[in-house]
Amino acid sequence: MSIKTTAIKEMDFKAVMKEQTDAELMRILSVREDLFLPEALQAAKAEFDNRNLSQNTNIISKEADEAVQARAAAPLDRYLKFLAFLFPGIIQLVFMGVFEADGYHRKAAELSKWTVFGTGFYLLSAFLAIIIW
C-alpha cells in the first residue's frame, strides 16, 4: 500500500464533511459517485442526515444552482487577458480546460478569445513585416 493511499484511508472524512456548507454537501451527493471515495460519500450522507437537510432540499438546491450560475458567469481577470494576448499558446488551452472543468465557462470563453486576439496580432505583425521588407 502506498503512502498516498494510507494517508487517504486515515483521513477523517467526518470532520471534512462537517466543515462543508449545505450547498456543498448537496453538490457532493448529487454528482457521479465514482468521483469520490466511498468513505467520503458515506461521511457526506451521514452529515446530510445529521443536519436534517432532506426537509430543506429545495432551498439548498436553489443555493447550489445560484452558486453554479455565479461560477459560470465569472469574468476573466484583466491580467489573464493581458497574458493570453501577449503569450498565446498551448498553455492557454490547458487553462481553458481547467476553467471549463471547474464550471467557469465565461472565463474559458474569454481566455479563448484573448488567445485568438494575441495569435492574430502576432500573425498580422509578421505579415506586415514581410510585406514592408
What was the pLDDT predicted at 1?
A: 45
- Residue whose C-alpha is closest to residue 106's, from 116, 96, 121, 115: 96
Statement: the pTM of the whole predicted model exceeds 0.85: no
Q: Which residues of 99-118 are buried (b: 16+ CB within 10 A; e: fewer)?
A: beeeebeebbebbbebbeeb
Are 111 and 76 spatial neighbours (Cβ–Cβ below 8 Å)?
Answer: yes
Q: Indicate if 59 and 102 belong to the same structural domain.
A: no
Portion of the chain with pLDDT greater than 70, in percent: 83
Give the C-alpha separation, 30 to 46, whole Å: 15
Q: Using one digit for the tens of pLDDT, what is the confidence trace for 52-93?
A: 766 555 555 677 777 888 888 999 999 999 999 999 988 998
The last residue of one of the domains, among 72, 94, 121, is 72
Q: Indicate if 59 and 46 belong to the same structural domain.
A: yes
The last residue of one of the domains, among 32, 48, 72, is 72
Range of the domain at 11: 1-72
Task: Evaluate if residue 2 carries a pLDDT over 60.
Answer: no
Task: Evaluate if residue 30 carries a pLDDT over 80.
Answer: no
Q: Indicate if 36 and 64 belong to the same structural domain.
A: yes
| Mean pLDDT to the nearest integer, 31-46 | 80
Question: How many structural domains compose the chain?
Answer: 2
